[in-house]
Amino acid sequence: MLYLKATGLSKSYTSKILVDHVDFTISRWQKIALVAKNGAWKSTLIKLLIWDVDLSDWTIEWREGIRIWYLSQDICLDENKTVREFLFDFDVAQHREQEVELNIAINKLGIKPYLDQSIVSLSGWEKKRVALTKVLMWDPEMLILDEPTNHLDLDMIERLERYLKSQHTTLLMVTHDRYFLERVCTDIFELHRGKIVVFPGNYSYYLEKKAIREENEKIEVHKFKQLYKKELIWIRRAPSGRQTKSDSRAKRFYDIKGNYDVRKDIVFDEQAKLTLSVEERHLGGKILKLKHIKKIFGEKIILSDFSHEFRHNERIGIIGKNGVGKSTFVRMIIGEDPVDAWVVQAGETVVFGHYQQKEIHFPDDKRVIDIVHDRKLLEQFLFPVSQQHVFAESLSGWEKRRLYLLTILYNNPNFLILDEPTNDLDLVTISVLEEFLMNYQGCLIVVSHDRFFMDKITDHLFIFEGNGIVKDFWGTYSEYKTEKETITKSSCPSDRPSFIKGGQNETDVTSENVTKKKLSYVEKRELDQLTKDIQSLEKERDHINRIFDRKDIPYDDIRVLSEELGVILRKLEQKEYRWFELSERE
């Protein structure tokens, strides 16, 4: 069933072509990621599809009557309302089903503690949660998401990933989260030289086919180079006679030269690697000691008693929910935030480099070459000579981030601290940054919500669990997650619904939960029946999903089964929500 058909889609800005007369379709239940290099106008393309920018001579046909919801990168909520007022801005009496859906979404996204706060008082990541709750409440048939994982912590990213993977919702999204791309998406749409190239598979499939394409393009450029050299030799030796033949051969030479120059420049630009050759600074025997450090903000405990002695080439990832103090911790290490008690001792040879989460601005009168004075280094970091003389403040957001990162690396730090370094960077730049960091010989601390990035470059984790508790886990994030899930499963009754097992832990339980009344006899019986109902519905859901895996299903059967599955999923979520309410008081 087609949801969207785009025909002859075109858009240009001045001389730059965004999309050039492309046709594509989106069908029901496809989960599509739109990928491209930064600067390729992915967000603008999405706005074209939802008619948020002016139309040209092309058509976009949406299937009539489908529920579509678009969530942009820039969250804009009514700051005059509380979270409760914003979410419950409908007639509850007339929309009981929406009320149930909303309460399910509130529990799934963990925003219950914020319901009575004003929106203006929320942080960026809290507003993102609220906006996502609103989206999930209306159970849209088509979701359009622009960087949905930005500003979310790892727990929230994984909850959203599970939801999008399990739901029969059609999805179009822009994201640089590679685990998201791998686990959720069924198709990759690459915006490439003004065209949409469709890859029917997940991110691994896309990378495999893209590598083949790039290799073929290199071969083609090499062939043109050889032909160009051959024709150049002939031109230089051409006799003065046979003017007609000479003119024809000369024309062929210039055609080949032009074709070669264009292909060479395109391939070089697209396949250029972000490389760095910064001088490594010596790191002495004494690096950094943290002795029983403590930190408290008002009644909030960031660190209660933390000690660690850093060793050479140590690579640490820091994870934890938003607001537990990860960024405060790294600022304490380098002396930007005071420590309440005990000692932070750094060796004399230690030179910190700190990449922070912040809005980046450069002086209005400074050009790129004035910020980093090394022309060769700028070129290695993908700032060509033509861009080195533009004013740094006129750069795009992701270009500013790249330049800001370069200013830090330019000082040759031997202890590098990166706070969310992958935000606003494209997949190409992220992968090359990973390559640089894997060869980096100093100490490294990374605060990041990018799970793939953390798995690739860190050796062990500081896990901020809240209330001042920090645990040291030796292994990657994926290994930590697997161990945590194993422990959770072993401590949960086997008949609980799967989404509960990955839900709240003991630190999520508020005083409100503790003071709730115990279950009555009738409620206990209801809870037992809900458990049985949930098991039965899950079997029905799994049975239909197994049927969908077959390739010989008639279209009419698909339509009937789809409607049946929708009813089952609706019942399942409602019963899971009620089960969750009762089980909290058990």
**Residue 250 identity (one-letter amino acid):** A
Strands 443-447 and 315-320: parallel
Query: Could you tell me the pLDDT band of residue 258, with boundaries at 50, 70 and 90?
Result: low
Alpha carbon distances (Å) from 210 to 32, 145, 190, 213, 449: 17, 24, 10, 5, 26
Structure tokens at 561: 């089964």
In the prediction, which pLDDT does 264 show?
53
Closest by CA to 168, choosing from 557, 579, 548, is: 548
Residue 219 has pLDDT above 70, yes or no: yes
Average of pLDDT values for 34-51?
Answer: 80
Q: What is the pLDDT of residues 430-476, one digit of tens each?
A: 887 888 888 888 999 999 999 999 999 999 999 999 899 999 999 99
Residue 186 has pLDDT above 90, yes or no: yes
Using a pLDDT cut of 90, give the percent of the chain over it: 22
CA pair distance 255, 260, nearest whole angstrom: 9
Average of pLDDT values for 178-198?
Answer: 90
Q: What is the mean pLDDT of the chain?
A: 80
CA pair distance 322, 150, nearest whole angstrom: 12
Fold of 506-583: Helix Hairpins (1.10.287)
Residue 385 has pLDDT above 80, yes or no: yes
Domain 288-483: assigned CATH number: 3.40.50.300
Using a pLDDT cut of 70, give the percent of the chain over it: 80
Query: Could you tell me the pLDDT band of residue 532, with boundaries at 50, 70 and 90?
Result: confident
Q: How far is CA 486 from the centre of its chain?
A: 26
**Length of the chain, please?**
586
Residue 209 has pLDDT above 80, yes or no: yes
Map residue 177 onto helix, strand or coil: coil
Residue 64 has pLDDT above 50, yes or no: yes
Domain 2-207, second-level architecture: 3-Layer(aba) Sandwich (3.40)
Query: Could you tell me the pLDDT band of residue 137, with boundaries at 50, 70 and 90?
Result: confident
Query: Could you tell me the pLDDT band of residue 155, with boundaries at 50, 70 and 90?
Result: confident
Query: Could you tell me the pLDDT band of residue 31, with boundaries at 50, 70 and 90?
Result: very high
Q: 118 burial class (0-12, 13-18, 19+ CB within 10 angstroms)?
A: middle
Alpha carbon distances (Å) from 353 to 413, 419, 583: 5, 11, 48
In the prediction, which pLDDT does 11 show?
79
Residue 412 has pLDDT above 50, yes or no: yes
Q: What is the b/e burial string over 152-177, where b = at least 16 CB atoms within 10 angstroms of the residue's CB?
A: bbbbbbbbbbbbbeebebbbbbbbbb
In the prediction, which pLDDT does 458 show?
93
In the prediction, which pLDDT does 509 show?
37
Average of pLDDT values for 364-387?
Answer: 87
In the prediction, which pLDDT does 251 show?
67
Q: 571 burial class (0-12, 13-18, 19+ CB within 10 angstroms)?
A: middle
In the prediction, which pLDDT does 494 show?
47
Beta bridge partners of 192: 195
Q: 521 burial class (0-12, 13-18, 19+ CB within 10 angstroms)?
A: exposed
Contact 270, 197 (CB under 8 A): no
Residue 495 has pLDDT above 60, yes or no: no
In the prediction, which pLDDT does 493 show?
52
Residue 541 has pLDDT above 80, yes or no: yes
Q: Matching CATH topology for 2-207 and 288-483? A: yes
**Domain definitions of the chain by residue range:** 2-207, 211-271, 288-483, 506-583
Q: What is the 3-state secondary structure (H, E, C) of 513-569?
A: HHCCCCCCHHHHHHHHHHHHHHHHHHHHHHHHHHHHCCCCCCHHHHHHHHHHHHHHH
Contact 18, 12 (CB under 8 A): yes
Contact 499, 576 (CB under 8 A): yes
Average of pLDDT values for 25-48?
Answer: 85
**Residue 118 identity (one-letter amino acid):** S
Query: Could you tell me the pLDDT band of residue 119, with boundaries at 50, 70 and 90?
Result: very high
Q: What is the pLDDT of residues 420-441, one digit of tens each?
A: 998 878 787 788 788 888 888 8
